[in-house]
Chain A
Amino acid sequence: MTDITSSTAAELATLIQTKKASSVEITTAFLDRMESLNAKTNSYLHIDRSNALEQAQRADQQLAAGKASSPLHGVPIAVKDNLTTTDAPTTSGSKILEGWIPPYDATVVTKLRQAAMPILGKTNLDEFAMGSSTEFSAYGPSKNPWDLDRIPGGSGGGSSSAVSGHLAPIAIGSDTGGSIRYPAAVTGSVGAKPTYGAVSRYGLIALASSLDQIGPVANTVLDAALLQDVISGHDPHDSTSLPNSLGSMVTAVQAADIKGLKVGVVKQLSSDGFQLGVKACFDDTVAKLVKAGAEVVEVDCPSFEYAVAAYYLILPAEASSNLAKFDSVRFGLRSMPEGNPTIERVMAATREKGFGPEVKRRIILGTYALSSGYYDAYYGSAQKVRTLIQQDLAAAFEKVDVLITPTAPTTAFKIGEKVDDPLAMYLNDIATIPANLAGIPGMSVPNGIASEDGLPSGVQILAPAMQDDQMYRAASIIESLYHAEWGAPLISRVPNLEVL
């Protein structure tokens, strides 16, 4: 039998289906590894061994009774801690929610349960997903398994460090401006943000409602496709969820053919500001695609220049409203000031104590962007920038099937390096943000190791809205070009955490 914890989700699913390993055995292997290594990576905020094993046992029983619930039946999974779960605390990385056990499951969690995928635990994130490094988690940063002194990306650094450190075969993330793709890039894993609305947001603790989307974090493109097929689909609880299915991503991966593939390189995201090794990896991807027969052209998206600015107005604005419900009345922390305070003062004291500095910064920025007299200049203009970005993308997709960019401007930086410089931190998402503003799907696939620091780099693939299958097709092609060279997923080269 192959080493369980270094297997892909697809391989584990096959082991289970062919009865070569049980879900309990596999889940146990991961739990053992989590218990010995989570202290090093801080990937998980909550682990409940017996609950996970119970779910695994149920999966085994169902299979024994001849009922396979999904292609990933029995494969355990890690879930980002901003999805509600009735059987585990849900904190969203914040002190204000410490210990809160929601009375309902997120739709995605329900789908995982229906797919008989045992939940290994809840993964760390920047508080309310505000950040690119998990350094803003109220429960301490997660560590990058490639170098424990470095960030695993954010906000979904718990999921990316769990997957790349083999503390989970696969995980759920959420992506508002790159929180799945950026962590995937800097940990050498695969991460996909589906088209806005492809996956229900019901039960996802909202950061910015018009940007948030749930998606898979995985070892391989096929694993990501398998998981996206499990979690996507219309949900009447989410009015913005797409009415129709986007089809099977697994089929798109399996049928991927480079013949006729037209790839656009975004001019604005291919030259300046990228770390040399990241740029070299990207150039290598382009060269590989050309050599394999894809048509690669440069496309111009001038309004991308305004994307980060628009994003840092829309996100805080929506977040300031979404986070207003954290008021000490119905759930979560209550902080009592001295004396006999009014509820207004209790709320203000609770929010002062329960929210970290980045959350407060963004709430106040968002309050400003929406306040009377400033709305048109800030929030209103930012919403217009979205239109311009959509127009640029529409023009680009007239010419090409997918766009590619480096996922992140640099490889993983050192913990603490940017924590006091919000602007520098915000620029990590420069390449990922346009997809959220426009609602289109985006995915990061490993494309090598930067020579100067030996850390992984990722290439981002963008496709038109609703054409997630095109994105998976291109991602699968790129991945296979690299696997042909490497012989295995990049994550197989992660250092041995046990000896670090």
Chain B
Amino acid sequence: MAKEQLMPYEQAIERFEVVIGLEVHVELNTASKMFCGCANNFGSEPNTNVCPTCLGLPGSLPAVNRKAIESSIAIGLALDCQIAESGRFSRKNYFYPDLAKNFQTSQYDEPIAYEGKISVELETGERFEVPIERAHMEEDAGKLTHVGGATGRIQGAEYSLVDYNRAGVPLVEIVTKPIYGAEDKAPELAATYVRVIRDIVKAMDVSDAKMERGNVRCDANVSLREKGAEKLGTRTETKNVNSLRSVENAVRYEIQRQAHILAAGGSIIQETRHWHEDRGHTSAGRPKSDADDYRYFPEPDLVPVQPSLEWIEEIRKTLPENPALRRKRLQEAWGFADLEFRDVFNSDLLDEVEQTVAAGASPQSARKWWTGELARLANAQGVSITELAITPGQVAEIQKLIDAGELTDRIARDVVAGVLAGEGEPSQVIESRGLRVVTDEGALIAAIDKALASQPDVLEKIRDGKLQAAGAVIGAVMQEMRGQADAARVRELILERAK
């Protein structure tokens, strides 16, 4: 497919006003599905978490999961929304093979939550208040696998296979109002907004919030209008942009693509588009047309949701701290400079550092471990840092041993490696690998004397006051001690013995 022509970004922003709107789908982490008792489980054998209801078999009926309602209300509250006195489910009718009943049960005219807002802070510290139109409940569809053809994509496939394990998993769809005024920051704002939503639902523990698993998915609406124009431009909706980076790139791409078309006197087709992260562009999907007639009507098999004020207040009490306020609190408590804090935050390590500090490590040492050695190891292993097989408690324990002089930084890294290799708790690794700082000064002195004796020229230099020459001896001594010595102490002893 030919890549479309793009207008340079700066030029596009100069000429057009960007309006974005975001729809974020959050998969809830309930034990069972939205309308049936099947497990809400990722990664099961295909079509094993299915029953007559989520398979859409004739005669089956839905029954609403109370926890899903609770989580949805909680999300509404976290987004500063009004909670509906009465919400109801409707049927959205369209045929697609991943949709078992060929209608999606979704809230349409009476969403559970509406009229909210959320504050989003960009990397520069600039703040935007994103207006939330609604948060409504719906069910996920099954998963299609496209077989045949070159790419495994839907285009050119010979046939498709359907697994309904995901069908009926509860979703909350959060829809913003049009967001104006972000100008050149629109792509970054879009990505940051999605991130804020992800952080909130993760902190609330209503979703596993793993974007790579599709727990949080974004559809991005973009439209442009000439600066000063009243009328909104025609928008496109880019579907399923499933990483923060993709959100930013897809919005930027759409701005440039639409700008080129509009500048050339063309018009934008209202359509859904698909983002291809690998190729860095969007492609046209289905145009919106008269054929999009979903024939919504109230779901006759379900009764209205009318949460009592008491219930809502009970749910409000379970809400965790607002993530933005939490960030402010943690930065103050840890005494981090802005850059240091952003480093932790941008690496998604607030929880880890907080827990490591809680387990007794100093904030700075906790930060260094997580953003340094552990980030490096995760990267080398090709896993996300939270998937590393080490806990904040273990990190804090190792740090305590360093602080007590029982481990050097160097030995500590070996301990970490042992923990990651599954050799047990830090103490067990230290025991079994025999890792401990050599505190027996007799052994150290013997090693130093031996090293000095074998390097008489170095000894001369030290005696001449060229103290940096001691480095060469330190290396030899550390090698002799298999690294298990405190380098600072070795240096002190060398200078003493050289006198």
Contacts and interface: CB of A to CB of B under 8 A. Distances in A.
Are A and B close enough to touch in the complex, i.e. CB under 8 Å? yes
Interface of A: 82-84, 90, 92, 97, 100, 102-104, 106, 201-206, 208-210, 236-240, 317-318, 320-321, 324-327, 329-331, 343-344, 347, 367, 370-372, 375, 379
Interface of B: 51-52, 55-64, 91, 93, 95, 97, 100-103, 160, 162, 164, 293, 295-297, 300-303
Contact of A375 (B57, B297, B303): B297
A324 B301 contact: no
Contact of A343 (B64, B91, B97, B297): B97
Contacts of A82: 59
B434 to A, nearest CB: 61
21 contacts: A104-B52, A104-B57, A202-B60, A203-B60, A205-B58, A205-B59, A210-B300, A236-B63, A238-B61, A238-B63, A238-B301, A240-B300, A240-B301, A321-B103, A321-B297, A324-B103, A329-B97, A330-B56, A330-B57, A331-B58, A370-B93
A403 to B, nearest CB: 25
B303 A370 contact: no
A84 B95 contact: no
Contacts of B57: 84, 102-104, 325, 330-331
Given A90-B58, A104-B57, A237-B63, A209 B300 contact: yes
Given A210-B300, A321-B91, A203 B103 contact: no
Contact of A321 (B93, B160, B164): B93
Consensus secondary structure, chain A interface? loop
A103 B50 CA distance: 12
B120 to A, nearest CB: 34
A146 to B, nearest CB: 32
Nearest to A351: B95
B444 to A, nearest CB: 74
B300 to A, nearest CB: 4
Contacts of A202: 59-61
Given A329-B97, A347-B95, A371-B293, A237 B61 contact: yes
Contacts of B300: 208-210, 240, 318
Contact of B295 (A84, A201, A347, A371): A371
A157 B295 CA distance: 33
Contacts of B162: 329
B285 to A, nearest CB: 15
A372 B301 CA distance: 22
B289 to A, nearest CB: 12
Contacts of A347: 95
B303 A321 contact: no
Contacts of A100: 58
B301 A209 contact: yes
Contacts of A329: 97, 162
Contacts of A97: 58
Contacts of A205: 58-59
B297 A317 contact: yes
A102 B303 contact: no
B295 A239 contact: no
A379 B298 CA distance: 11
A371 B296 CA distance: 8
Given A102-B59, A104-B57, 10 more contacts: A84-B57, A102-B52, A206-B58, A239-B61, A324-B103, A325-B102, A330-B55, A331-B58, A370-B296, A371-B293
A326 B58 CA distance: 8
A427 B62 CA distance: 33
- Listed from nearest, the 9 A-B pairs whose CB atoms lie closest are A324-B102, A370-B295, A209-B300, A210-B300, A203-B59, A205-B58, A325-B56, A84-B59, A325-B101
A317 B395 CA distance: 62
Contacts of B60: 104, 202-203
B95 A372 contact: no
A439 B56 CA distance: 25
A204 B57 CA distance: 11
Contacts of B293: 371-372
B295 A325 contact: no
Nearest to A329: B97
A435 B97 CA distance: 37
B64 A106 contact: no
Contacts of B97: 327, 329, 343
Contact of A344 (B56, B58, B95, B103): B95
Contact of B59 (A106, A320, A326, A372): A106
A100 B493 CA distance: 88
A380 to B, nearest CB: 9
Contact of B52 (A103, A201, A367): A103
A157 B303 CA distance: 32
A244 to B, nearest CB: 15
A107 B52 CA distance: 13
Contacts of B52: 84, 102-104
B62 A84 contact: no
Given A329-B162, A343-B97, A206 B59 contact: yes
Which of B52, B60, B162, B164 counts the most A-chain CB atoms under 10 A from its CB?
B60
A239 B297 contact: no
Which of B293, B301, B302 counts the most A-chain CB atoms under 10 A from its CB?
B301
